[in-house]
Chain A
Amino acid sequence: EVQLLGSGGGLVQPGESLRLSCAASGFTFSNYVMSWVRQAPGKGLEWVSSITNSGAGTYYADSVKGRFTISRDNSKNTLSLQMNSLRAEDTAVYYCAKYLAPGIPYFDYWGQGTLVTVSS
């Protein structure tokens, strides 16, 4: 059974940093592009970042470019999102998600979501 378990969310002040993790199981993690998608309270979905299966390629939404860094450890089946210089508008539930199939850019499994709150 595919499982994505996100962790690391919490309450931080503007300008601070936070690191999210997503532990994957039930599939061959190293074969799949992985992504982070967020949802601000009461708002819609926003793609944040994606990373290729090897980790060699990383992509970011303009809203987080230069502040967030996506990474993965295929030996530990773990996806991470390092978030620096956090702003109030980064407050959201962050979901990790996997592609439907290698090279097929649709999300068939999502984590349970982890809440990040940026507030003073």
Chain B
Amino acid sequence: QSALTQPASVSGSPGQSITISCTGTSSDVGGSNYVSWYQQHPGKAPKLMIYDVSNRPSGVSNRFSGSKSGNTASLTISGLQAEDEADYYCNSYAPTRMVFGGGTKLTVL
């Protein structure tokens, strides 16, 4: 159960857009539409931001969007705001197991 591969860090200026990738295999990301993204601020519990690859839960800003191509899922944040600075984790679910990405630290410059 290897972790999904994410870049360790990304950065962007307020108002810009950034994309975080999440690479797995055909056994997880590539073979599942149960892909999600979580945001975690320091000292806080994670928050669900995207599920089913590209759906947003109620209350999550439409600046957050998700997509998938092959074995790689992506999270795009447009119109960066200071409050977006956090760690982001992708997640893939398959019956009997679940795997997270290693996490990406987003810095808003």
User: How many cross-chain pairs have Cβ atoms below 8 Å apart between A and B?
Assistant: 57
- Interface of B (DSSP majority class): strand
* A105 in contact (CB, < 8 A): yes
Tell whether, in the assembled complex, residue B48 and residue A47 are in contact, meaning their CB atoms are under 8 Å apart. no
Q: B91: which A residues are within 8 A, CB to CB?
A: 45, 47, 106
**Interface size (A, Cβ < 8 Å)?**
23
Contact residue among A63, A105, A110 (Cβ-Cβ distance under 8 Å from B34) = A105
Q: B87: which A residues are within 8 A, CB to CB?
A: 44
Tell whether, in the assembled complex, residue B100 and residue A45 are in contact, meaning their CB atoms are under 8 Å apart. yes
Tell whether, in the assembled complex, residue B46 and residue A47 are in contact, meaning their CB atoms are under 8 Å apart. no
Contact residue among B51, B98, B99 (Cβ-Cβ distance under 8 Å from A100) = B51
Tell whether, in the assembled complex, residue B100 and residue A47 are in contact, meaning their CB atoms are under 8 Å apart. yes
- Closest 9 A/B residue pairs (Cβ): A110-B45, A44-B103, A47-B98, A105-B93, A106-B51, A45-B100, A59-B96, A106-B36, A44-B102
B residues near A (Cβ < 8 Å) are: 1, 3, 34, 36, 38, 40, 45-46, 48, 51, 57, 87, 89, 91, 93, 96-103
A residues near B (Cβ < 8 Å) are: 35, 37, 43-47, 50, 59, 61-63, 95, 100, 104-108, 110-113
